[in-house]
A and B are shown apart, each in its own frame.
Chain A
Amino acid sequence: MNLHNAKKTALPIMNLVKMQGVPILDQLHLEERLLRSDFKNWCILNVGTPQPTIVMGVSGKPSELVNIKSVIYNQVPVIRRFTGGGTVIVDKETIFVTLICSREAVPLLNLYPQPIMSWTGTLYHDALSDFGKFHLRENDYVFNNLKFGGNAQSITKNRWIHHTSFLWDYDVKNMDYLKHPPRSPKYRLERSHEEFLCKMKYFVPSKLIFIEKTLNSLQKHFVLRPIQADDINALNIPYAPSSRLLTKEELEKELLSTTA
């Protein structure tokens, strides 16, 4: 649908940025800039991040969430992001989909966690129900009772962000860097990471099909306007993002605190 038709149908415009292999920290910085310093709607798609990276929520404590010794030994980056939610390990086989919206973008949507989660659940149900028994289970996207996407939100007065890391594929060994979190959804039932998670590639024919289906579902709510990632820098949106890489010294200090 073109912009002329958008005005006729009154669907809001959403800028669409497609990226390939952008490091997850750079993606998070971009997202926070757009959430806090811009007023437009955005969809950010990034297929893969170059190296396995642990990403914790805003209040995440490495001592509770991460096997710090092996993370330090293997030099796995650990990031604390600006949104809430749990801890994930992402890599080149992770597909990231982020929605950044203004208050009016989705009619009648109350800007609280559960309504936003439910709305995204219908979006992804539309995209994925052909490929398996898709559910929004507590706050996770699952096929049957196997989680394939971790998501998180941040809500400001007039805007919200909901971002998801979809596990297209993953190295089971990397899950050993993550501890069983102190807070888990009830449906997890004490299952290990391997028993709790599934790989999207066993359900969806290709990454391209997943992306196309997701964008088709989004187009029921928005007119998508492609934007090149380079053009965002030209928008000159200054902001100092808070997502950051934890230093080795910080991780060592956390490790000492658990052994003291």
Chain B
Amino acid sequence: MTDLTALSYTSEHEWIALDGDVATVGITDFAAEKLGDVVFVDLPAAGSAVTAGDVCGEIESTKSVGELYAPLDGTVVEVNDAVVDDPSLVNADPFGDGWLVKIRLDGDLPADLLDRAAYEDLTA
């Protein structure tokens, strides 16, 4: 069971779990619920550079497609193939098997990331 208090969050409803200089990134249960059934994910390729705040992919639900924003600067080191094959993992286990990408951090984490309490205030 993921310790949600150990994660950082963005105002775009992404979560980050930092392990050394590699951040695992996904979207929160709040975002997954608001999107509805996720049917397709378009993720940045491994090896690609991403910039904090820029669009780096898309998530499609039944009727809508929404943007995925890079939460930090870095290089994608791994893409979750399981979620590409089965996008429903984003709804079923957004903090676990539904993770999206791993990014090697370039520099520091953005200063405007939220802790769990601040994220809960945002979504209250």
Contacts and interface: CB of A to CB of B under 8 A. Distances in A.
Interface in B13-33: none
Interface residues of A, number: 23
Interface string A124-147: 000000000000000100000000
Contact of A155 (B39, B42, B65, B69): B65
A113 B61 contact: yes
A152 B42 CA distance: 18
Contacts of A85: 62-64
B96 interface: no
Interface in B43-70: 58, 60-67, 69
Contact of B63 (A59, A82, A110, A113): A113
A153 B58 CA distance: 13
Contacts of B64: 83-85, 113, 116, 152-155
A153 B67 contact: no
Interface string A142-169: 0000000001111111000000000000
Interface of A is mostly: loop
A82 B67 CA distance: 12
Interface string B62-103: 111111010000000000000000000000000000000000
Nearest to A114: B36
Given A59-B60, A139-B62, A112 B67 contact: no
Given A58-B58, A112-B34, A153 B39 contact: no
B40 interface: yes
A254 B40 CA distance: 19
B39 A183 contact: yes
A57 interface: yes
B35 interface: yes
Contact of A84 (B12, B34, B63): B63
B65 A58 contact: yes
